[in-house]
Amino acid sequence: MKTNQNYKKLNESYLFSTIAKKVNEYTKNNPDKKVIKLGIGDVTRPLCKSVVEAMQKAVLEMGTQDGFRGYGPEQGYDFLKEKILKYYKKRNINLKLDEIFISDGAKSDLGNILDLFSKENTVLIPDPVYPVYVDTNIMQNRKIIFLEANQENNFLPMPKDDIKADIVYLCSPNNPTGAVYDKSQLEKWVKWAKQNNALILFDAAYECFISDVNLPKSIFEIEGAETCAIEFCSLSKTAGFTGTRCGYTIVKEDLIFDEMSLNKMWLRRQTTKFNGVPYIIQRGAEAVFSEQGQKEISENINYYKKNANIIAETLKKHNIWFTGGIHSPYIWLKCPSNMTSWDFFDFLLEKAAIVGTPGAGFGKNGEGFFRLTSFNTNENTKEAMERLDKIL
């Protein structure tokens, strides 16, 4: 038996293990210091009441003869798909139920969608980036071109005529930079995709943090995207589902390449290699989209946004350049005094007992930058920024 040799080309990431090692060492040497972690990439607020109640009810149902549900549709129950359809309708995006695929999260779908594409495609990936885009393509030996995101383009790289690629990843609001594309910028990407017969994989996992109605939350707000884009979204950050697992992927029926319907191909992939999201979880997800559910999740989102604002104000006061922090839980800042990412990490830890994430861990263009997140408590975020204020 021969193994998939592409796995040998994968790099081990030592980013988070190195951070943990440094923090452990610091704590050991400074047992009296309270370390505040602003490197967290995971939500911390509990599931909202509506979701808990809906799942309680669904669990009980599953224990009764009449309420029990066995195999569900692999692509998700209509009761949930209908809610998502209405959610898109609010932004004047018309979907069909068959264009919505419920999944256990954007990470799974972003990896598995590559099953539908030839290995011969060239992939365009922004740098800095969520490492999953890169590794999943290395596993299938696709040629990768990196797209330079940097301070000059506000970490929102735009297409150029000489860039030829078949698939491009766009994530807006971006992880790790928090930068958000506006409509005219996404229009240019859709135009480029059409000119190049390319496909946009649009990662909208952070759309719920956008509060400016003029900023697009979905690629399908852009005319023509239905024939050149797939959208991935998740309830992980929207409703604190990182440990509850539910997302959705939109593949329009109009999306045709090589005379093949990507909608039908994805349906075939999911019915063959997936058995759907637990009924209980889908009932929880449904509750997120109820009027009360939307009110409750927005309280949590606003809680995080308050933290992002506290961080942003402190950086502004000290004239530190940053992106994100408004329509995103992430703040991506230029390290002061031209420090490298890791120098600034050590400086923050040693001088203020604050932990963040060195930008260099997200790609070569992340060097000299640093990510802070808004997922700690209001109290801790305030205290961290008071400390930062003193040492800058």
Site for a copy of itself in 168-207 (CB under 8 A): 197-199
Indicate which single residue of 23, 265, 320, 339 sits in contact with a copy of itself (rule: CB under 8 A): 265
Which sign does the torsion angle of CA 297, 303, 307, 309 carry?
positive
The residue among 303 and 347 lying less far from a copy of itself, judged by its C-beta, is 303
The residue among 198 and 354 lying less far from a copy of itself, judged by its C-beta, is 198
11 lies in the binding site for a copy of itself (CB under 8 A): no
Which sign does the torsion angle of CA 139, 143, 149, 150 carry?
positive
Indicate which single residue of 268, 306, 316, 317 sits in contact with a copy of itself (rule: CB under 8 A): 268
Q: Applying CB under 8 A, which part among 83-91, 155-163, 243-251, 378-386 lies near a copy of itself? A: 243-251
Taking the CB of residue 326, how many other CB atoms lie within 10 A of it? 18
Give the phi and the psi of residue 198 in degrees, each rounded to 5: -105, 165
Provide the token pair at 342: 């890791």
The residue among 87 and 279 lying less far from a copy of itself, judged by its C-beta, is 279
Provide the token pair at 236: 């992980």
Indicate which single residue of 257, 304, 332, 369 sits in contact with a copy of itself (rule: CB under 8 A): 257
The residue among 119 and 316 lying less far from a copy of itself, judged by its C-beta, is 119
Indicate which single residue of 278, 358, 361, 363 sits in contact with a copy of itself (rule: CB under 8 A): 278
Cα–Cα distance between 301 and 292 in angstroms, integer?
14
Query: What residues numbered 87-116 form the site for a copy of itself, per CB under 8 A?
Result: 104-105, 107-108, 111-112, 115-116
Helix axes 341-352, 378-391, angle to 10 degrees: 100
Q: Beta 36-37 vs 354-355: how paired, if at all?
A: parallel
Question: Which candidate, 238, 214, 190, places its Cα nearest to that of 45?
Answer: 238
Q: How many residues bind a copy of itself (CB under 8 A)?
A: 75
262 lies in the binding site for a copy of itself (CB under 8 A): yes
Query: What residues numbered 114-143 form the site for a copy of itself, per CB under 8 A?
Result: 115-118, 120-121, 132, 135-136, 139
231 lies in the binding site for a copy of itself (CB under 8 A): no
Radius of gyration of the chain (CA): 21
Tokens 């359809």 identify what position?
A: 85
Q: Any residues with CB less than 8 A from the CB of 9 and at least 6 apart, and which? A: 138, 141
Query: What residues numbered 324-383 form the site for a copy of itself, per CB under 8 A?
Result: none
243 lies in the binding site for a copy of itself (CB under 8 A): yes
Query: What residues numbered 35-64 form the site for a copy of itself, per CB under 8 A?
Result: 42-49, 51-52, 55-56, 59-60, 62-64
Cα–Cα distance between 345 and 335 in angstroms, integer?
9
